[in-house]
Amino acid sequence: MSAVSIALREAAQRLAGVSDTPRLDAELLMAHALGIERQALLLDPARHAVPTEFGAFVARRMAHEPVAYILGYRDFWTIRLKVGPGVLVPRPDSETLIEAAVAHFGAAGPGQILDLGTGPGTLLYAAMSEWPEARGLGVDASDIALGYAADNAAALGLADRVELMAGNWAERVAGSFDLILCNPPYIADNEELMPDVAGHEPGCALFAGADGLDDYRRIIPDLPRILAPGGVAILEIGHTQHMLVGELAEAAGFTARCRQDLGGRDRALLLTRA
């Protein structure tokens, strides 16, 4: 067994106490330390020596730092996004919103896309990567998040098609949009989170009042003003929030449909004009 294979095995054993995916974490950290992609590492681990940086990366993960922060990026949908402290790490469950948008629009796609709470551009750039003619607007209250979003737009070749705006949800947004995407905070203030999340990711992107619905109450009533005829707004929800958020949507004049994630949990609520 090669030195790299032994180091990966030992790291995975150590990380089992702090991660649900210890082997994957170890492989990603090793590949990052080597400056290669994980696939290249797995093809031929014996050709590499264990880099000195690997131990430091494992130690950071042992302290519950998210892998994405250590790597400096997270892959989402078909794109790679620069991320770091101050922005929410993109989750695979959020790809459900992009799947729903693709199913709704097909190849024709939306012309104008709005992402409320864009963070590093997660949903907006994933959608724009599907439809090369679409233009986008990303709104976020965090200057840190908008900085990451600007860097990602440049890296992905989207800067000429996107506008970024500081703002509190849609308060400063004018015009109409065929597709509105939003992954708002939806965790109740008293809910306990994993140490990776609670100790590192921004609370303002996670918590939303006593019942987790505060931001939906701000966002949904403003959507009829900016949703184009025939358009759809797709909101991420917690897996127990389908009915409660659906009631808010119906009160605002929408018909609401729910889409489940790959784990079979309610994850995306699609709002169209009733």
Mean pLDDT in consecutive groups of 10 residues from the start of the chain, 274 residues: 96 97 98 97 95 98 98 98 97 98 96 98 98 98 98 98 98 97 93 85 87 96 98 97 97 97 97 92
141 in a domain, yes or no? yes
Sign of CA dihedral 167, 168, 170, 174: negative
The helix (H) or strand (E) run that includes residue 163 is: strand 162-166
**Domain assignment present for 70:** no
Contact 83, 120 (CB under 8 A): yes
φ, ψ for residue 258, nearest 5 deg: -110, 145
In a domain, 26, yes or no: yes
Residue 273: its H or E element: strand 266-273
- 42 with 87, same domain: the answer is no
Whether 132 and 261 share a structural domain: yes
**Per-residue pLDDT, 90:** 97
List binding-site positions.
117-121, 140, 169, 183-186
Q: Are residues 91 and 57 in the same domain?
A: no
Does residue 266 fall inside a structural domain?
A: yes
Q: Are residues 32 and 155 in the same domain?
A: no
What is the pLDDT at residue 210?
84
In 3-state terms, what secondary structure has residue 177? Answer: strand
For residues 21 and 152, membership in a common domain is answered with: no
Q: Are residues 36 and 14 in the same domain?
A: yes
Residue 68 within a domain: no
Query: Taking the model in full, what pTM does it have?
Result: 0.95
Q: Indicate the residue among 63, 88, 106 that finishes a domain.
A: 63
pLDDT the model gives residue 55: 98
Give the domain-ending residue among 41, 63, 85: 63
CATH number at residue 188: 3.40.50.150
Whichever domain contains 7, its CATH number is 1.10.8
Residue 73, CA distances (Å) to 29, 84, 223 in order: 12, 7, 31
Query: In angstroms, what is the C-alpha Rg of the chain?
Result: 20
Count of structural domains, the chain:
2
* Binding-site entries for S-adenosyl-L-methionine: 117-121, 140, 169, 183
- Domain of 51 in residue numbering reads as 3-63
Closest CA to 225 of 180, 183, 269, 174: 174
My answer on whether 42 and 93 are in the same domain is: no
Residue 111: the pLDDT is 98
Annotated binding site for substrate: 183-186
